[in-house]
Structure 1
Amino acid sequence: MIHPTALIHPSAQIDPTAEIGPYVIVDGPAKIAAGCRIEAQAQIVGHVEMGAGTVIGRAAIIGGDPQDLGFKPETESGVILGAGNVLREHVTVHRASKAGAFTRMGDGNFLMAGAHLAHDVVMGDKNILANACLLAGHITVGSHTFIGGGAVFHQFMRIGDYCVVQGNGGFGKDIPHYCAAHRINRLMGLNVIGLRRQGFSKEQRAEIKELFKMLFVSGLNLSQAVAVARGREWTPAAQRLLDFVATPSKRGICAVRAGGGSEE
């Protein structure tokens, strides 16, 4: 299952059922599990662990050095991919920037052509990133989130679970669970269709909607709204949204803004 033109490092561990295509380079102590497929001219660089059934598209590069001016190439770090991921043509995933650390991806993610995950990104399960999405370093992505093509994200921010993000947007602040985001750091409401498709009950969706309005459209600032929301009990699905908003990263939280003008 290894094409004769492929170049394989002697320390690589490749399951006999994996398929390694023409001109693939596996350069380093990679671990490639059962049923994986590495398509033509892709490169697997350094310490990369790949779960069963993962597909790496043509000319993708997994495990390259971080684009960090302070990074030292001798740093021992890597990339860990879960099972059943599909990374299409020209996707790039860089290894972590600190010794012993890993850029990580869970299971069942689908990254379309040209998507980029920078160093130290941590991604959950079953996310879809459309073409040319660019995630900077140290971003955390939840699960079951869809990101439109060409969207770009600043380092150290968080993207929650069950979100939908419009293509060509720019984001430097956290996008909470269940939210729909667009333009520049702007929330447009909840991912109502996504929640329904993912099996959230009518009652759960109604409570999440009530909490969203309390947090973002009540006229209170965010800390005041969080304090009010904490004054009552919520079921677990809504509580996850409250907990996310109550513990923002240093980047802050995206907000709902009225009107159609441009942001500063």
Structure 2
Amino acid sequence: MNIHPTAVIADGVKLGKEVTIGAFSYIDNDVEIGDGCVINSHVTILPYTSLGKGCRVHSGAVLGDLPQDLAYKEEESFVKIGDNCVIREGVTIHRGTKLGTVTSVGNNCLLMAFSHVAHNVQVGNRVIIANGALLAGYVQVGDQAFISGNCLIHQFTRVGRLAMLSGGCAVHKDVLPFCTTRSVSLNKIMGLNVVGMQRAGFSSEERLTLKRAFKVLYQSKLTLPKAVARLEEEFDSPLVTEVCEFIKSSQRGICTYISTKRQPES
């Protein structure tokens, strides 16, 4: 245990083994910090927040503050952060709004400087959220998604597994698994996240299958229900099934496709 003498730690804090807490950090009651965590200087961790093992929290981060939601009624709610997460400078993660609800971040996530995770957000495993990205309340982010700098995600929007949001885009419709959005755009998908799939170990056959499915979905001129029906009929692939189930469970609709090919000059 390595705790700086200027750190303030409440009596009700549960500290794991070999925890480091830096200068002028404040750890309030009902906080749990797992084994091997490093809490740098000037970090604030507020009640009902838990961190798993091996996390590193950088200066100026505030974890577990009250939700920025006028519906909040001072009820007990939580922030739960998994193992081996890196939370950089100035990150804010807020508690759930309703009684007993949770804002959660999975394992092995990287939240870069000044990103914001609002109340009741659910972030999967191995997610990267880059500098200045803002996730509004009740957003869901699938495993291994990459959210680039200064992205804006509207409340209740879902980002699918291995999706990549390009820099500065905004979405208030669901982003399909394995797809990538266009930079500085609204609700526009420009193709598949091929690099992300390669890094995740997808085979060339799996990538080709998703490419064929993408063409049916976005370039066949079928209506969305008919495109989904065709995918379910023609493809025997768990990845395509995942995409279809994501679409069918969407409450907000899905992002539309925009070609990145240069348009002919008039």
Fold conserved (TM > 0.5)?
Answer: yes
What is aligned with 2:11?
10
Q: Which one of 181, 206, 209 corresponds to residue 208 of structure 2? A: 206
Other structure's SS at 1:137 match: coil
For 1:71, the aligned partner's letter is: Y
Whether the aligned pair in 1 keeps the contact of 2:55 and 2:85 (CA below 8 Å) is yes
Please tell me the root mean square deviation across aligned C-alpha atoms, in Å. 1.4
Shift of 1:258: 4.5
* CA deviation vs aligned residue, 1:124-182 (integer Å, no higher than 9, x gap): 11111110000000011011111110001000010011111111111101001000112
Shift of 1:99: 0.7
Other structure's SS at 1:40 match: coil
What is aligned with 2:61?
60
Other structure's SS at 1:176 match: coil
TM normalised by structure 1 equals 0.95
Distance 2:17 2:7 in 1: 15
Distance 1:124 1:118 in 2: 15
Q: Percent identity?
A: 37
Shift of 1:16: 3.5
Shift of 1:233: 3.7
Whether the aligned pair in 2 keeps the contact of 1:131 and 1:149 (CA below 8 Å) is yes
Distance 2:160 2:29 in 1: 33
Q: After superposition, where does 1:117-132 map in structure 2 within 5 Å? A: 117-132=117-132
Distance 1:66 1:216 in 2: 38
Shift of 1:241: 1.4
Shift of 1:38: 0.8
What is aligned with 1:105?
105
Whether the aligned pair in 1 keeps the contact of 2:190 and 2:259 (CA below 8 Å) is no
Distance 1:11 1:210 in 2: 55
Other structure's SS at 2:3 match: coil
Q: After superposition, where does 1:70-109 map in structure 2 within 5 Å? A: 70-73=71-74, 75-109=75-109
Distance 1:220 1:237 in 2: 20
What is aligned with 2:248?
246
Unaligned runs of 5+ in 2: none
For 1:221, the aligned partner's letter is: T
What is aligned with 1:221?
223
Distance 2:98 2:86 in 1: 26
For 1:72, the aligned partner's letter is: K
Is residue 49 of structure 2 the alignment partner of residue 48 of structure 1? yes
What is aligned with 1:150?
150
Whether the aligned pair in 1 keeps the contact of 2:192 and 2:211 (CA below 8 Å) is yes
What is aligned with 1:172?
172
TM normalised by structure 2 equals 0.94
What is aligned with 1:26?
27
Query: For structure 1, which segment, 191-200 or 172-181, has the greater mean C-alpha deviation from structure 2 after superposition?
Result: 191-200
Whether the aligned pair in 2 keeps the contact of 1:204 and 1:238 (CA below 8 Å) is no
Query: For structure 1, which segment, 171-180 or 231-240, has the greater mean C-alpha deviation from structure 2 after superposition?
Result: 231-240
Other structure's SS at 2:233 match: coil
Whether the aligned pair in 1 keeps the contact of 2:231 and 2:240 (CA below 8 Å) is no
Shift of 1:245: 1.7
Other structure's SS at 1:193 match: helix
Distance 1:142 1:29 in 2: 28
Shift of 1:242: 1.8
Other structure's SS at 2:234 match: coil
Moved over 6 A (4+): none
Distance 1:107 1:163 in 2: 17
Distance 1:128 1:193 in 2: 15
Whether the aligned pair in 2 keeps the contact of 1:119 and 1:137 (CA below 8 Å) is yes
